[in-house]
Structure 1
Amino acid sequence: MKIMHIDASAKKPEQSNSRMLGKFFLEQLKEQGVNFQIDYLDLTKDIQPHLTPEFVVATYKPENERTPEMKAVLTDSDAMCQRVISADTLVCAMPMYNWTIPSTFKTFIDTIIRTGVTYDLFPDGTTKGKLAGKKVLFITTRGADLRSGAFQHMDAMTPVLKAAFSFLGIDNPQFVDAQPLQFSDPESRLAALARAREELTTIAKQWATTI
């Protein structure tokens, strides 16, 4: 099995809870006897560019009509799409920044949502994602507790991840959300991380029986 493991935390590895939890999950898979290869992507080092007018024009132009310049504009996106397509599973670990996904993960999404590559666009305007069948796990860390209370309605992270990956054909991504962390007392923080590790262990056991 090939796992594309993506980190998007701006913190150093030893200071990042999302990076730690992503690593923990992979360790749990190994303990369950799952054999896998890792394609690792650190979005703080391999930052995908923002969309440009040239990119937008090129991506919607039929492949056989693209100029050499258009093909050059799409080269990095083509390569990233192929990395995603070739992966059997995606493990995406990220913190919540200002109620939503890190901007680096947004540019990653923009890079891999490609007509004719990761989704098909039909003449009647309907679409169909081409990544169906892949397992996708989102490991998120949140400073506040968004499970209930005053901040519950502030979760813009989960909807955008579900919408983007559903468009690509992933209907049932799994989520493990560690919360509350930064804006909590030490006891609540430790409890949140313990819950997340327990959930990740359970998912690792599930994957071991279905892969």
Structure 2
Amino acid sequence: MATLLHIDASARAGRSGIDRHGSHTRRLSARFVDRWRLVRPDDTVLYRDVGRSPPRPVTEDWITAAFTPPDRRQPWMHEALAESDELVAEVTAADILVIGAPMYNFGMPAPLKAWIDNIVRVGVTFGFDRRREGVPYWPMLAPGKRLVILGSRGDHGYDPGGRIAHLNLVETGLSVPFAYIGLTRVDAIATEYDEFADERLAASLNAAETAIDRLADRIGVDG
């Protein structure tokens, strides 16, 4: 059996197609998880909604605590890192991470960035030794994990090779820090044309859902 960690990051509470002004990424991430359950009904699914319950952003106290060796941390330092410890434990336990990541002003929502900042931690998810020859950093997550990014964009042409692909900072903003801590197997699917709200959006949603079903089936069977 495997463990799937499902993350939603949209500021919208509902799902498009069900709720008025609902979130496309919540719709897509739920679609993936529902399909996954069909393929692998015995797997564990963890859920965290950072869009509705944002993690605390990194503070000076957090930094001080994170860079203090564990055996020298004072009680307030453990408290400062308690939420981060919980978030890291979820990622560590997961074999596959499914993230609903809408595009806000070309990048990810602030709560999702706060979540990333809480799980990329020296000595916990990545190692650092300035005396190490070559690159002084190395990933610490167990190998073999997968990342699935499910996005939504107002405009169109953000996919690789598209007319404004260079403006898409969502997939890069997620895949780069995750690769840094050891998660390099990444798939990304997104819907576009949200601002147009016409048949192009409907077609894009349909294509994304079809791709999600195929991806869930393939990963669920092949791993």
Q: Give, in whole Å, the separation in 1 of the partners of 2:51 and 2:36.
A: 25
Structure 2 unaligned residues grouped into runs of 5+: none
Give 1:56 shift.
0.6
The aligned counterpart of 1:53 is: 60
Deviation of the 1:135 alpha carbon: 1.3
What aligned pairs does 1:8-19 form with structure 2 within 5 A after superposition?
A: 8-13=9-14, 14=19, 15-19=22-26
Please name the residue that 1:130 is paired with. 140
The percent of aligned pairs where both chains have the same amino acid is 25
CA distance in 1, matches of 2:210, 2:105: 26
Q: CA deviation at 1:30?
A: 2.6
Superposed displacement of residue 34, structure 1: 4.5
* CA-CA distance at 1:45 after TM superposition: 2.9
Give the letter for the 2:166 counterpart: H
Take 1:71 and 1:184, find their aligned partners in 2: how far apart are those partners? 48
Structure 1 residue identity aligned to 2:195: F
1:3: which partner in 2?
4
Q: Is 1:64 aligned to residue 76 of structure 2? A: no
Contact kept, 8 Å, 1:89 with 1:135, in 2: the verdict is yes
Partner of 1:139: 150
Q: Of the candidates 198, 204, 210, which is equivalent to residue 198 of structure 1?
A: 210
TM-superposition CA deviations, 1:157-186 (whole Å, max 9, x none): 122112111111111211011112x22251
Moved segments of 4+, more than 2 Å: 30-35, 122-125
Q: Could you tell me how far 1:130 is from its partner in structure 2? A: 1.9
SS of structure 1 residue aligned to 2:209:
helix
Q: Name structure 1 gaps, 5 residues minimum.
A: none
TM-score (norm 1): 0.93
Q: CA deviation at 1:11?
A: 0.8
Of 89-98 and 201-210, more deviation after overlay is shown by 201-210
1:85-112 Cα distance to aligned partner (Å, 9 max, x none): 1112111012100000000000000111
Question: Which of 166, 169, 174 is the aligned partner of 1:161?
Answer: 174
Assess if the C-alpha contact under 8 Å between 1:22 and 1:92 holds in 2.
yes
1:183 aligns with 2:195: yes
SS of aligned partner of 2:207:
helix
The secondary structure found in structure 2 opposite 1:74 is helix
Mapped contact 1:143–1:183 kept (Cα < 8 A): yes
TM-score (norm 2): 0.88
Question: Take 1:134 and 1:52, find their aligned partners in 2: how far apart are those partners?
Answer: 29
Instruction: Measure, in 1, the Cα distance between the counterparts of 2:73 and 2:37.
Output: 44
Q: Say if 1:34 and 1:208, in contact at 8 Å, map to a contact too.
A: no
Matched letter for residue 95 of structure 2? D
User: How many residue pairs are counted as aligned between the two chains?
Assistant: 209
Query: Deviation string for 1:38-63 (max 9, x for gaps)?
Result: 11100123211111111111101111
Q: Larger deviation: 106-115 or 34-43?
A: 34-43
